[in-house]
Chains A and B, each alone.
Chain A
């Protein structure tokens, strides 16, 4: 009985993995209704490069202020999300894995805000 359930679970996992990754194996990517003759990983790489160029232009051409800083942070978050979803396959994997990134990040940010609240006293 145990052997059978283990085997069934393994088959389900294998089937899920096959189904979820089949789109990643295609040589074509459909983006906003347009078919691109490149695997999805290459399209994501193009997006990462474009976003990095965007960041460089913002950083080099405009002075630092609330708006430009916000744009830079948003661009970096989009890049990170693209890598996590497509390259680390989180879009197909168990969503609980996302907690491994979100929970420690949340704790770290709370710590950072706490540090910001502490006045600088020197060393």
Chain B
């Protein structure tokens, strides 16, 4: 028994970066599966409401406008591009390049959240509120704010994670051979981007 424990400890203690990366990626994909369930339910709930209340959705679309949301979409797509370019730089052995690109990711994520706040203020002034107050628009509010704000919370977490990646990179904890932490953060950030792609289409365009 002691020999087996020693062997397991020995193997774990010497897990190569490649094996560690595969394990981390597998765990992250499982985590993302749980996120898919949550976001699918939130988006499906909105879609069902939207199909049954076309006039309300049309009214909100007219009040909110598409320019700000379209700009935010481009910002989030750009942040995803910056993320993957940072990982590319690290794999090429350029740690400073990683810091620069992930810094851009964090900045773009922050701008996204700030613009989402501006959008919420605009909608709130137009009567789209979170809780039911009797009007038709308030029925829309919960279905709209639940998925978009939950997504926004993920962006905030992602920005904090990006700053942690930068802090770690400055300490020299990543290299062309050891990039598991950056790759896992990339999976999370790109997933948040994929969710927004569907939110943009189903909530703002259709």
Q: Enumerate chain A interface residues (CB-CB to B < 8 A).
A: 2-3, 6-7, 9-11, 13-14, 17, 21, 24-25, 39, 41-42, 44-45, 48-49, 52, 55-56, 58-60, 64, 69, 72-73, 75-76, 79-80, 83-84, 86-89, 93-94, 97, 99-101, 103-105, 107-109, 111-112, 115-116, 120
Contact = CB atoms under 8 A, between A and B. Distances in A.
B160 interface: no
Interface in B24-57: 25-26, 29-30, 32-34, 36-37, 40-41, 43-45, 47-48, 51-52
B13 to A, nearest CB: 11
Interface of B, helix, strand, loop or mixed by DSSP: helix
Given A76-B201, A112-B48, A104 B11 contact: no
Contacts of B17: 14
B81 A42 contact: yes
Given A41-B85, A59-B205, 4 more contacts: A41-B81, A52-B73, A101-B32, A105-B40
Size category of the B interface is 35 or more
B16 A10 contact: yes
Interface of A, helix, strand, loop or mixed by DSSP: helix
Nearest to A117: B48
Q: Which of A17, A87, A99, A116 has the most CB of B within 10 A?
A: A87
Contacts of B147: none
B77 interface: yes
B19 A115 contact: no
